Amino acid sequence: MRLGLLILLGVEDGDTSVDVHWLVGKVARMRIFNDPNGQMNLSVCDVKGEALVVSQFTLHASTRKGNRPSFISAARPELAEPLYEEFRSALANEMNRPVPGGIFGAMMQVHLINDGPVTIIIDSRSPH
């Protein structure tokens, strides 16, 4: 079994390259894989794992008002796509291996085996 990450990346209005590079560092170094003692002490780089990045504007859904989610805070494709590609490229450099992604804005089906599960939300606007 290969270890890896499925990263659902949502770009919000106002995000910049600063957010991208902070997030790449956080993702690449986050210790979420088990060491030989079964403790979450290893990063994706430590385990020479893989990553797949999928653009996901729906992560920015606001459900505060009414029953239809609003995606008003999600960045428009003109901003989101270049930052998505920058994230993939920077993560590939950090991991020293290719980081595949889907076709930006396309409907996709992703199949995975979720061994854990570990699901973590990281927001560059709330870095603490």
CA angle 59, 82, 70 (to 5 degrees): 25
Residue type, 108: M
Which CATH superfamily includes the segment(s) 4-95?
D-tyrosyl-tRNA(Tyr) deacylase (3.50.80.10)
pLDDT computed for residue 59 by the predictor: 86
- Give catalytic residues, as residue numbers: 58
Joined tokens for residue 120 = 């973590």
SS3 of residue 28 by DSSP:
helix
Q: Is the pLDDT higher at 115 or at 123? A: 123
Lowest average pLDDT, out of 33-37, 90-94, 102-106, 114-118, goes to 114-118
Over its C-alpha atoms, the chain yields an Rg (Å, rounded) of: 15
Q: Is the pLDDT of residue 105 over 60?
A: yes
Q: Cβ(83)–Cβ(67) under 8 Å?
A: no
What's the rounded Cα separation, in Å, for the pair 21 and 23?
5
Mean pLDDT of 83-100: 96
What is the value of pTM for the model shown? 0.90
Mean per-residue pLDDT over the chain, rounded: 91
* Nearest alpha carbon to residue 124 among 28, 12, 6: 12
Q: Is the pLDDT of residue 128 over 60?
A: no
* Nearest alpha carbon to residue 97 among 44, 42, 55: 44
Map tokens 């805070």 to a residue: 73
Condensed to tens digits (0 to 9), the pLDDT of residues 36-77 reads 999 999 999 999 999 999 998 888 888 888 899 989 899 999
Q: Is the pLDDT of residue 127 over 70?
A: no
Condensed to tens digits (0 to 9), the pLDDT of residues 5-30 reads 999 999 999 999 999 999 999 999 99
Joined tokens for residue 112 = 């995975």
